[in-house]
Chains A and B, each alone.
Chain A
Amino acid sequence: MSDADLVRAIQAGDETALAALYQRHLPSVWRFAFSRLAGNTAAAEDVASETFLAAVRQIGRLAPEGGSVGGWLIGIARHKVQDLRRRGARRSAALTEKITAAQAAPADDPSASLETAELRQRVGAIMDGLEDDERAVLEWKYLDGLSVREMAARLGRTEKAIEAALYRARQSFRAAYERAQRAPR
Chain B
Amino acid sequence: MTPAIELRATRRAFGSVIALDSVSLTVAPGEFFALLGPSGSGKTTCLRLIAGFDQPDSGTILLDGEDVTNTPPFARNVNTVFQDYALFPHMTVAENVAYGLRVRGIAAAERSKQAVAMLDLVRLGEFGARRPHQLSGGQRQRVALARALINRPKVLLLDEPLGALDLKLREEMQAELKGLQQRLGITFVFVTHDQGEALSMADRVAVFSQGRIEQLDTPRELYNRPQTAFVASFVGSANVVGREAARFLTGSSRAFAIRPELIDLLTPDETAADGCVQCAGEVVDVLYHGASSRLRVRVDEHTTLAVARAETMGDGVAGLATGARVRLAWRPEHTVPLQD
**Do chains A and B interact in one complex?**
no
List B residues at the A interface (Cβ < 8 Å). none
Tell me the A residues contacting B by CB distance below 8 Å. Answer: none
